[in-house]
Structure formats: structure tokens, C-alpha cells
Structure 1
Amino acid sequence: MHPSFEKVLVADDDLPWEVVDEKIKRKVMSYTNELMLVKVAFKQGGIGTIHQHSHLQISYVASGVFEVTIGDQTRNLKGGDVYFVPSNVLHGAVCLEEGLLVDVFNPMREDFV
């Protein structure tokens, strides 16, 4: 397992963006082995393809509008809304209006570091 990062006071400007693709970038803000918070910025049309993982995930829509699919449910969510993804459930998102998601994972996503 990766060592805990455990950044206690985090200044956004101190961390670089990781480019996922031309319409998505992310920033791992802080984590321990048990918990991780990641900011994900989407340009309009960006797609978080349908996938699944063993981690629990809860995401806050900080801005923008996203069509979010979790299992067999799909709904448009906007700034201020939240969604929860249980373990191993297929899920994904399409960015309808440029925006930012704040994702929290338990345990941390080793594939992100």
C-alpha cells in the first residue's frame, strides 16, 4: 500500500492538475489509506466513462451540470447536488455544462497516485 499522504492544510495552488484527457483534469487534494478527496474539472462534453470499483464514492457537484448514471438510474445534477456510488456499482457522468466535481473515496484510490 502507498504511504499515507495526509496533507493537513492544503492550498489549491500548491498542487498540479493531472490531465486525464482533453476535457478532464483532476487534482488529488489529500488522502490517507482509508480516505481520499479528489477535485475533477470537466469541460462541456467531458465523459467519465461507465466504470466500477470496490471503493465507496460520494461526490459533490461544486459547479456545472452533469448527467450522472449510477446503476440503472440517470439524473441531471447541478452545483450543490451530491451523489453516492456503492461498491462495485457501474457509474459514469457526462458534463453538460463545464463544471467541477469533488470526489471522496473510501478507501483511497491507489490507481490515482
Structure 2
Amino acid sequence: MAQSDLFQIETEIEWEVPAEKVKRQVYGYDDKIMLAKALFETGGVGTLHKHPHSQVTYVESGVFEMQIGDEKKIIKKGDGYYVPPEVIHGCVCLEAGLLVDVFSPLREDFL
């Protein structure tokens, strides 16, 4: 079973760059759950995609146009969303910000 260290220290976690104007840090995980942060610059795009994982996300800062299935909403600091498995979703960052993602099970493609 894959597993992270028990503690994750922000300054010790490398940022990955999955897309232009987007950076990601992977925090704690095991085979059932994973926490990650996605830092967006204004204009950054989370390209429409789907995956077999359930996803819950909290908007720590910024403003995003979020699409889940056929529905779009403008979301901002304090908001959140849920994406069921295999549902198309993505976002455009309208004001620079940070998303905190939880996936179940873990995203092996992030490791």
C-alpha cells in the first residue's frame, strides 16, 4: 500500500507544474484518500477532464469559473464543490487563487 509520511510540511513539498499558470503540491495519502493543493495564476486553466475518483474541493482563495457536467458556476473563497466519479469537470481561474482537493481513492497519476 502506498502511503505518505505522517506529516507534510508545506515548505518541504515540491511544486509540480501540470499546466501553464498552474502548480500542484501533493500532501497526505494512502490507497483510499489523497489531499492536494492547486495554485492558479489568473488565466490558468484546469482543462476539462474526468477520472474514476470522487473529488471534493475547497476554494481557499481566488475566483474560478467551474464547470461540472453541463453546469457552470463562479466560485470564490469559502466555496467548495463535489465531483462524482467519471463526470467531466474543469475550471478557468478568473482571479489568482488556491484550491484544496481531496480525492478518493488516491490519484496514482499524481505520484
TM-score normalised by L of structure 1: 0.94
Q: Which residue of 1 aligns with 2:31?
A: 33
Give structure 2 stretches of 5+ with no counterpart: none
1:104 alignment counterpart: 102
Superposition CA RMSD, Å: 0.9
1:94 is matched with which residue?
Answer: 92
Structure 1 gap ranges (5+): none
Structure 1 position 9, deviation (Å): 1.8
Of 40, 44, 61, which residue of structure 2 is paired with 1:63? Answer: 61
Amino acid at match of 1:28: V
- Residue 82 of structure 2 is matched in structure 1 by 84
- Per-residue deviation at 1:20? 1.5
CA distance in structure 1 between the partners assigned to 2:20 and 2:81 by the alignment: 24
Q: Distance in 1 between matches of 2:17 and 2:90?
A: 18
Match of 2:8, SS state, is coil
1:7 CA drift (Å)? 2.2
Moved runs in structure 1, 4+ residues, more than 6 A?
Answer: none
SS at match of 2:14: coil
Q: What residue is the counterpart of 1:24 in the other structure?
A: 22
- CA shift at 1:22, angstroms? 2.7
Please list the CA deviations of residues 34-53 of structure 1 after superposition, one character each: whole Å capped at 9, or x if unmatched.
Answer: 00000000000000011101
Aligned AA (1:53): H
